[in-house]
Amino acid sequence: MIQFLLAAPNSGSGKTTLACALLAALKNRGYAPCAFKCGPDYIDPMFHRAVLGVESHNLDLFFSSPEMARGLYASGAAGHGAAVCEGAMGFYDGLGGTSTTASAWQVADTLNLPVLLVVRPKGASLTLAAQIKGLQSFRTPSHLAGILLNDCKPGLYKMLAPMLEAETGLPVAGFLPPVPEAAIGSRHLGLYTAGEVADLQQKIALLAQAAEETIHWEKLLSLCEQPAPAAAQIKQEHKKQCVKIAVARDEAFCFAYAETLEALTAAGAEPVPFSPVRDPALPEGAGGLYLPGGYPELHAQALSENTSMRQSIRGAVAAGLPTVAECGGFLYLGQTLEDAEGGIWPMAGVLPGQGVKVGRLVRFGYATLTARADSLLFRAGEQFPVHEFHHWDSTENGTALTASKANGRQWACGFANEHFYAGFPHLYWAGTPLPERFVAAAESYQNKRGSL
């Protein structure tokens, strides 16, 4: 089986572009590849899914134990001829920026994956070899197996490749030339989402064609051929679907981990997608509501003008519908939301705060969430790993839980009671009791409504 992790010395090296090019080319070659993303990122997996037509999964060693990550990887890779894992940030950049914990290197080390280093040769030549040698020696084993040059013209590749191989001892497995027609724009949370790129499939086809012509496929495949991972070690009995859970899935709410939805399904839920932007009301017969993160600030007017949906959600939550809202979903449940241009729009009105534009990342990064009391999802004193990534804030963030960073910083956050949780932190549900608790509450609510 072909397996490798794409890493880079730093962000901005074009890992996602190269991942899409290689995935599309591997698909065209009949390998039926699957994809993974290191870390908590939501956007890059959307591009993987756009290429493959199947889910891309996150592998995050802050959220998951090594055993669980191995199980998730083996489960996701089963039945595929190739598995491509895209790293995050720089190769060794992990928790707090000062640790390899949850870094791409730790994922490669945990899964014993060969690493192809993506290097964008801009403004350096021999110095690139010095940087790569530093990466090779920084941790043992480094798992570095080869080099891919990105955004590199053919003439430059011919000059750099033999020098890099001689200086580092690593084979250079080809390059991806500049493909300006396939460029994808970015904004405050990174790339535009895959669904917003109208000609994405055309861009992917161009990348695949370029990769087919400029990647040294025989070399790459020989570097990355290794036995398929052992059978998944996460033994999870899938319960019979017993309750519908409405899941917001549209351009405003698109940040939901595939593993979270799969865990809900395994716990007995039937996730039912709906659009707070376009649908008039919640899906009929839903026993629970999940509002994940996304870009509500970019769709604030459309969300606000869908008055019937806002009323449907406000009434359902008031009636005790088990509800979970994370980040963007949390902002949607507030009183108002400021859009990117400064306009103020009424939201669902479930919570007291106003969503406001800050213009910078707020409380960014990994944290640990501690529950102060029993509630829908949490039990007093329990701790869960979370992640925050947002440029908007709320005037009322709640006090039901305490979030703490590795550097000792703490803050109160979240609203929670026996049928409700809402807050900025993104939860990672897989491997936790959260899916079973949410589904049990939804089933109980549904049964009570049915008996009335």
The SS3 of residue 380 is: coil
Cα 349 to Cα 426: distance, rounded to the nearest angstrom: 21
Q: How many helices (H) and strands (E) does the chain have?
A: 13, 24
Give the count of beta carbons closer than 10 Å to the beta carbon of residue 183: 10
Cα 40 to Cα 141: distance, rounded to the nearest angstrom: 24
- One DSSP character per residue, 52-74 reads HSS-EEEE-TTTS-HHHHHHHHH
Q: Which residue shows structure tokens 């809900």?
A: 264
Cα 138 to Cα 7: distance, rounded to the nearest angstrom: 15
98 class by beta-carbon count within 10 Å (0-12 exposed, 13-18 middle, 19+ buried): exposed
The SS3 of residue 142 is: coil
The CA angle 371-235-44, to the nearest 5 degrees, is: 70
- Closest CA relative to residue 5, chosen from 51, 28, 36: 36
Copy the structure tokens of residue 444. Answer: 């109980």
Strand 172-176 relative to strand 144-150, pairing: parallel
Cα 138 to Cα 355: distance, rounded to the nearest angstrom: 43
Cα 269 to Cα 440: distance, rounded to the nearest angstrom: 9
Q: Which residue shows structure tokens 């400029």?
A: 214
> Residue 103: what residue type?
S
Cα 284 to Cα 294: distance, rounded to the nearest angstrom: 24
DSSP type of residue 234 = -
Phi first, then psi: give them for residue 57, nearest 5 degrees.
Answer: -115, 150
Give the count of beta carbons closer than 10 Å to the beta carbon of residue 240: 5
So which residues are the catalytic ones?
327
Copy the structure tokens of residue 292. Answer: 């994940």
